[in-house]
Chain A
Amino acid sequence: WEGSWGLYFPQSTYSESIYVGQAAGTPVLQVHAMQERASEQPYFCLYWRRLQKSAPYASWFYIDAVTGVIYMNKTLDWTDFESISSSWFAHAKRLTLKVTAAPMSQKILCAQFPNAEVSLTFFNATAPTCGQMKIEKLCFPDRDINPHIKENRMPGPLRQLRRFTHADLCPNYNISYRVKPESPVPFIVNDSTSELVVTAPLDREEKEVYRLILTCLVQTEKELFTNFTPLHISIYDEDDSPPYVNGTDTEDVLIEFSRNKGAAFGDLFVYDRDTTSTYHKEQSQNKYVWTLLTNDSWIKDTFTIQQNFSEEKPIFGNVRGTVYKYKLRLIRNISVDEKRSFQLDYLVNDTTFRGPEGTVMLHFNVTILPVSISFSNITYFYVLSRKSMTYSQIGEVCVDNCLKFKGIEIAYHLELSDRNISANVQSCYTAVDVARNLEDMSGVLYVNDTEPLRRPECQELQYVLVAHEQHKQLQAKTLVIIIFEGEADPLRTDGQRSLACAEKRQRGECETFSGLGTSTGRCQWRQGTEKVISENYSTCSPDLRTCPDGYCDVIESKNISICPQDCTREPIIGGHERGLMLGIKAGHGTCYCYLEKCFCEQDDMEEAICDDMCKTVIATA
């Protein structure tokens, strides 16, 4: 696999300082291009970033096309600095050049090849003298850029360690560099050229970063100085590892109650020791594609494969690698009567891997079971107080497994069990109705009309509950028997006054009040105990099992007076935490509501609550 990348610069930016008085012909810095093959001798050239706006400093520099050393083309003087600086006060000016490297054979096209930036800081001053220079400055740049090397490439020089401008200020010093050998590393310094050299092709899957310590030895007339600096060399990845499966390549998938578009099943994993960038999704590096191997159009129209990948380290021996995860995903709802089983094969292809084993075959063993819409042999039976108010919840009804249904639509309604009854008795049947839950496929029976509750002929009601599957028009039926018992409330005047339990602020008035939605005919009081904002705030509710439970259910949403604590959309006054979309999540003290407007406040009832001790004190007083 030749010629995929070619020449590249082991660092994207080079920087150096230049000074007034720097002489023509002196070297500034040296760039290196790493080769892939020995025949790929680099040819360097310089160009300026904005070709349309010619940089005035363009002609001050030239590059040796073979060695990559950039030299001064002229001796810099004070007017040169003024010619490029727009500000009187500027102390230094940054000059930006670009250097490119082309294979020798294509040197005419040089400017089109990969480039690196050369950033030169031009100081409005002459260079310091050797005596003014600190030893560290002679050795290493102030701020270093860590280089990188691509794996599987030719060895060769990658960086010039010598700081030409500074080292030349001290011609009598002998400056040399070493790689401090902590453990054997494939890097050495070429003593004759002061270049850092990589001695062998590297493998990223073995080691991603080499942490070197560079030593600089400065031999002056009198003594020997030693300086250290760390250098981290990153190894860049290429797609040189094939995909593989660890363990099974087959996953059993059972599709039964979840049949909705978007549902995902199964988990199959493919591993690749190469990295995959999440930043450039379009980048072809290590890009995986999958193909379904089936001609069955039903399968093609129903299923797709969902591919996700993540970078993992520990499972690849502490070097980054990629784990691809595959799931089987529905792209349309499957009808309840569908029954099939088949093996779905798909091919995963690592498209940028050049070797022979760049693909993996995976399988989903799919079984689709039909779902029957039925009620188990049960009759729903409820005994209800005659004092029940409108919207009180009687109970939940559910076709078998309805809570697990996804992508199956069920509607419920009630019918008369016996049509041969008098009109008078028929009118009893407005008492109860059923509504489909908002979040699942169960139904809720509730009191729809309280007028029949007072009539003796309406004591026992027999309904047929019909569950209706919407897509295939399947039906299931069962019997619902409701018996009313106890005395009706004779004083009741529905609709003549406000009926919201939530208006009541004290236990006494709450528990004697008949609010909307109460199944016993009396509101219920919840006593909070905490002094701060709490989910267990004090409040008055028609039924503490459903309100306030932080969820505005299908019955509560029929009328705001039933449970505004769960259902209000209005701003809440007082210390509180709002529910996610509706209602009060937590409140301070007692929360009460007038229609949708809710208030939470700590009531000053504590003085009124008088314990035995206090009563004694008052009695004796």
Chain B
Amino acid sequence: MPFKILKKEELVPDIHIMDISAPRIARKAQPGQFVMLRINETGERIPLTIADFDREKGSITIIFMAVGKTTMQLASLKAGDELLDFIGPLGIPSEIENYGTVILVGGGVGVAPVFPQARAFKEAGNRVISIIGARSANLLLWEDKMREVSDELYITTDDGTKGHHGFVTDIVKQVLQGNEKVARIIAIGPPVMMRAVAGVTAPFKVKTIVSLNSIMVDGTGMCGACRVLVGNETKFACVDGPEFDAHLVDFTLLMNRLAMYQPEEKAAVSKYKCDREGCRC
């Protein structure tokens, strides 16, 4: 049962959006969940967060950065092409309630999974403060969509080309030091960013939730490749998460484990480029 790509677009350099026809998954998807996909017979299984879903159209939206062999190959596909396997929705949905004021933090491609949560928090009656960041203005994702579902929206860029010159953590701290009582913070982005957010929010004792992007194989709890240490207990991110209390997560371990396959990932990329572009290797 191949899964058809309905729409594909490059949002900003190297970050791509795709709508995939998957009616059974779209029927069930919730914010915070993810899918596993495999492009073709020789492909690997990779996890991607569900960035949006349309129950009527029966489609799931994914956003990904072309950083490795599989995502580069995925980026080369067009509307009308098909994926061999598309599995989900996986993981435990986010807890969405009316907490009062919540801060949603999205870094880089992490803005995509933050969006459906921001929308859901807004719909649940929360006051939503969103902080989205990127390295540079031209890499900033979904400013308009985020603005629509936020009461306040802050933008940060590492190089100062738009919004605050600096990191999302600067704004998180600024908001927490203000008068408003913040009930909960959701942060999704690169592990260093999530670790930094956890560090900033800990002294304020505000419940902070992060979505962990550990290496996955099956995504259904049968192998433990995605294991993380949370409050000194081993958890499987695919079934116990992917969201966890940021103040209990061992980020060093997460980052160490994410680096496990670096040489193989590099080798796969250079082989892929050679196969496509031709080279003397």
A binds B: no
- B contact residues vs A (CB 8 Å cutoff): none
